A and B are shown apart, each in its own frame.
Chain A
Amino acid sequence: MSNVRTPLYKVGHIKKHFPVLGGVLRRTKGYVKALDGVDLEVFRGETISIIGESGCGKTTLGRILALLDKPTDGELSFDFGQGLHDVTALRGEEQMQFRKKVQMIFQDPYTSFNPRQRVGAAMDEVLRVHGVKDEAERSARILEACEMVNIRPEYLQRYPHEFSGGQRQRLAIARCLATKPELIIADEIVSALDVSIQAQIVNLLLKIQKETGLSFIFVTHDVAVARYVGHRVAVMYLGNVVEILPADSLPEAAEHPYTIALLSAVPSMNPKAKDDRVALEGEVPSPIDMPSGCAFSTRCPSVMDICRTERPVLKISNISKGDHQVACHLNKGAK
């Protein structure tokens, strides 16, 4: 894949800082830097998996990308068809245009539908709000979406509580598909499901992508699923993207020490994997007292002096070149 294409969605140095209020006068004591300068590009027709452990900011990133939250700093640009257009300041009708193209599916299947609304009516309402005035067209779109996710049309009369977790996620996917988006942000959508149901949903997503050419941002903490689902994988740690690489090249091509440690921590059927395990000491530092320099410097087994003072930036990998970027001082590549 050549890098000369224009991305569908460009994330430019996004920061999200939450003020920490303290004391009697509720002054700002400090900031929780949930996102501290995230750069990312999502292309048409691709799935990019975002992985990371708790506190890395992946969920915050997903919400900002869906415009559910405003970034503290940085740019978001989306290609509506005539090149990239800034979307952070969109309001009203223009924002609605964005919302038609970018959809989100949430982690908890049990609360993502209004419990008092029949699921078919819920989907119909979304289409009406998006301006699909003709009732016949709305029905057609909904039926088409349901067919793609394997939900029988007669079930549309039911209430959310009558469905299982896996079915509800499929309904959530159908609800998004009916609006004919270009990008779907899936935030940990399989984490709350049994593994055999996860497999159903994963297969479904792959099938949808093959048939519609949609782009997906797949946020997860499960590294193996991220690799399986995505074309590329972006690894996050403490509010930064530390590595982006093609999914197929995992796990061998991983370069960033955190990525390597993360991959090696995944339990494996391979008996040798345990011996190669990189044991990470300690815990993730608090995002309030961020270490200066590289966020991973406090736990990195390959830490150098420069790591503690200077924050590394994402640069193309010197080893694998191509579509592989690392934010690490060990990578002496050119931008």
Chain B
Amino acid sequence: MIDATKDLILDLKNVNVKFKVEDDTLHILRDVSLSVPRGSFLCVVGESGCGKSVTAQAIVQLLPDNGQISSGEILFSEDNQVVALNELEKFGKQMRDIRGGKIGMIFQDTLSSLNPAHKVGRQVAESLLQHFPISKEEARTRVIELFRKLGIPDPERRYDAYPHEFSGGMRQRVMIAIATICEPDLVIADEPTTALDVTIQAQIMSLLKELQKTAGKSFILITHNMALVSEVADHVAVMYLGRVVEYGAVDKVLRDPRHPYTKALMASVPTLDADKDVELQTVDGQTPSPAEVTVGCEFAGRCPYVINACKEKTIEMTQVGPGHDVRCIRLDSNGKLPVLTGGASHE
């Protein structure tokens, strides 16, 4: 785990989340432990169904009605006090103060996260007015100032514009404004640039990094884009089917991935300098449903390194280096995977 003596702004300890879907109970988050040192940038990476978005929702207690945190703790450090977010009432005053005030959230789909019938400036100001006893004029001034800082051109006029009058990139800046106007210590961004062009993505990401550097904000970025992670993150957590399978400092995990899934993920994405004679690595089959895997390693059904022991019981995290943890029993004493000979095959 991350050095426990560091000042952590957020600490998830063994969080389990279950969802009731029709008559089944699905185990969506499995024993998730993550820590975010103050002022650092954590990326949570995975493909669809891994639970990364659910993790974000669990932190701010915005799980849908049929979901609940069945066990574990979510500790948030605010004003020198540690609060267990999972124990707060979902819509109670304390949680509402924290949401938006101390923890800001940026979502992927800006079109549906912004109220199309309200002017944009007002929506940002609303967030401010909810948390601070200031006047409407004062709020307006601060919002316009933030718009300017975030690179929204002509901020006084744009204050009175509606969401549909903005492009995708500009709307995302508005979302960032809403998320940061109250100067929260922690900002959680769920795939904020997935729907945006790569040039706009570069602009937005450099904005976020700027906020981290100058304002000392901590970030949790949820994404599926490994290259993006390598550029912005300090730490990265790789998730698969609700479980964190690899976790550590970004240069350790990305340059020297140890978990078979992390390795496969990295090798399946072509980079600009990829060797075209090397086939992209794929993983057999697709992500199973949580109901299908209840015992043993979640990745066992598709892993090229699988042995019988993998399916028998829950795998624990092992430390393979300082600040680098991997959840795999196939690692030898040096923390490396064995060389594949024939290899297992699935499907």
Contact = CB atoms under 8 A, between A and B. Distances in A.
Interface of A: 53-54, 164, 166, 194-200, 202-203, 206, 221, 223-225, 227-228, 247-248, 250-251, 261-263, 265-270, 274, 277, 279-280, 282-284
B231 interface: yes
Given A195-B268, A203-B280, A164 B230 contact: no
Give the size range of B's interface with the partner: 35 or more
Interface in B264-292: 264-265, 268-274, 276, 279-283, 286-287
Interface string B139-171: 000000000000001000000000000011110
Contacts, number: 108
A224 B283 CA distance: 20
Nearest to A225: B270
B286 A53 contact: no
Given A203-B282, A225-B270, A228-B270, A248 B231 contact: no
A228 B279 CA distance: 10
A221 B270 contact: no
Interface string B184-220: 0000000000000111111101100000000000000
B300 interface: no
B183 interface: no
Nearest to A200: B282
B279 to A, nearest CB: 6
B309 to A, nearest CB: 24
A224 B270 contact: yes
Top 7 closest pairs, chain A to chain B, by CB = A199-B268, A53-B197, A228-B270, A267-B227, A199-B280, A194-B47, A265-B202
A8 B225 CA distance: 36
Contacts of B167: 283-284
Contacts of B276: 228, 247-248
Contacts of A53: 197-200
Nearest to B167: A283
B88 interface: no
24 contacts: A53-B199, A53-B200, A194-B47, A194-B287, A195-B226, A195-B265, A196-B264, A198-B268, A199-B280, A199-B282, A202-B270, A203-B280, A224-B271, A225-B270, A227-B270, A227-B272, A228-B270, A228-B274, A247-B276, A251-B272, A267-B227, A269-B226, A274-B231, A279-B203
B47 A196 contact: yes
A269 B205 CA distance: 15
A268 B230 contact: yes
B230 A197 contact: no
A221 B231 CA distance: 20
A266 B270 contact: no
Contacts of A221: 197-198
A53 B227 CA distance: 18
B48 interface: yes
Contacts of A263: 272
Nearest to A228: B270
Contacts of B280: 199, 202-203, 228
A266 B268 contact: no
Interface centre among B169, B199, B254 (most CB of A within 10 A): B199
Nearest to A258: B199
Interface of A is mostly: helix
Contact of A267 (B48, B168, B228, B268): B228
Interface in B298-315: none
Contacts of B271: 224, 268-269
B224 interface: yes
Nearest to B46: A194
Contacts of B205: 267
Contacts of A197: 286
B272 A268 contact: yes
Contacts of B47: 194-196
B198 A223 contact: yes
A132 B280 CA distance: 36
A53 B271 CA distance: 18
A270 B230 CA distance: 8
Interface in B228-270: 228, 230-231, 254, 264-265, 268-270
A170 to B, nearest CB: 12
Contacts of B283: 196
Contacts of B224: 194-195
A166 to B, nearest CB: 6
Given A199-B280, A280-B202, 14 more contacts: A53-B197, A53-B198, A195-B265, A196-B264, A197-B286, A198-B268, A221-B198, A224-B270, A247-B276, A250-B272, A265-B199, A267-B227, A268-B231, A269-B227
A208 to B, nearest CB: 14
B169 to A, nearest CB: 6
Given A197-B286, A203-B280, A269-B227, A279 B274 contact: no
Contact of B286 (A166, A247, A279): A166
B284 to A, nearest CB: 9
A159 B225 CA distance: 32
A308 B35 CA distance: 52
Given A166-B286, A266-B227, A267-B225, A199 B199 contact: no
A194 B48 contact: yes
Interface string B4-39: 000000000000000000000000000000000000
Given A166-B286, A265-B198, A269-B230, A223 B272 contact: yes
A265 B230 contact: no
